[in-house]
A and B are shown apart, each in its own frame.
Chain A
Amino acid sequence: MIRAQVIVRPRKSIFDPQGDAVCRAIQHLGVTAVTQAHVGKCIELVLEGNDVEKARGQLDAICQDLLSNPVIEDYVLTLQPADAK
């Protein structure tokens, strides 16, 4: 079994209104040291099998086609073998 995690984040060059609102809310709560916030998504996947490299290739394609939109988002894919439990 393999566990994969995909972190999708708005590209730095794209205005992120959600991150901006979160940043301002944090500052409003008194933590003024926070100057930036970026809101993304974390997608966790569980795969059958144990061929991590094969899974990486398949999931890379899925990340580009479905899980992220390359026009506005970047992603980081990490995979690791896991116990079936």
Chain B
Amino acid sequence: MRWAVIQFPGSNCDQDAFHVLKNVLGQEVAYVWHKETSLNGADAVIVPGGFSYGDYLRCGAIARFSPIMPAVKEAAAQGRTVLGICNGFQILCEAGLLPGVLVRNASLHFRCEMITVRVEQTGSRFTSEYRIGQVLRLPIAHGEGHYVADEATLDELFAHKQVLFTYCTADGQVTAEGNPNGSQRNIAGIANRAGNVLGLMPHPERASEKILGSDDGLGLFKSILASD
């Protein structure tokens, strides 16, 4: 599979994603600067974490107008894989590729720690290597990860099996206690209706090697490869 990792001014998880794809999974991967207008035929695109444009105005609000974004939207429309991690999730929401928006954590604190999420669906191209109810240890690092959408949108997300990951306690309970940022219904990651675009706040690319304390994130990338 050919992968593209987009770099915005302020991206800071681009190299982690590149490393996992190239060195851990042996994939063909290239950086794409945000001022470019083509993904050069990549099969999958990663919109990485960071603080694009300093998070000015709202997280992702300015990045969504970058010259590369029409190509990302086109790739999404063509059914190619688009994965937005952390700031990438915020950008995909602002761009309208995913519903809802990420706002300031309910606690107002920037949360940088290892958390646990529950795998809610395995019929997705992003989660086929996991099992339903599996608890993953993944790091988060965000101040604006509090997922918000109106009730009708939330109902639709669950009805169409678009909620792939929810925040949970270490023993897999999806409760307020396990929710690090106040996200509605503990939502940590959602796919679009077509199932080819995923946004999530936790960082699977920072948990893909045992030496990092967890390799629970690797299954997400392996799932995408298995879907190819």
Question: Is the Cβ of B106 less than 8 Å from the Cβ of A69?
Answer: no
Q: Is the interface of B mostly helix, strand, loop or mixed?
A: loop
Question: Is the Cβ of A67 less than 8 Å from the Cβ of B104?
Answer: no
Give min CB distance, A72 to chain B, whole Å.
5
B107 at the interface (CB under 8 A from A): yes
The contact of A17 among B57, B65, B100, B108, by CB within 8 Å, is B108
Residues of A within 8 A of B (CB-CB), count? 11
Given contacts A71-B148, A71-B149, A72-B148, contact A14 B57 (CB under 8 A): no
Which residues of chain B are near A67, meaning CB under 8 Å? 57
Count contacts between A and B, CB distance < 8 Å.
Answer: 34
Question: Is the Cβ of B108 less than 8 Å from the Cβ of A69?
Answer: no
Complex CA distance for A18 and B107, rounded to whole angstroms: 9
Complex CA distance for A69 and B58, rounded to whole angstroms: 8
For B109, the closest partner residue in chain A by CB is A17
Given contacts A66-B57, A66-B65, contact A71 B104 (CB under 8 A): no
Which residues of chain A are near B94, meaning CB under 8 Å? 69
Give min CB distance, A6 to chain B, whole Å.
11
Task: Identify 6 residue pairs between A and B in the complex whose beta-carbon atoms are under 8 Å apart, listed by A's number.
Answer: A14-B148, A17-B182, A18-B104, A21-B108, A41-B57, A69-B94
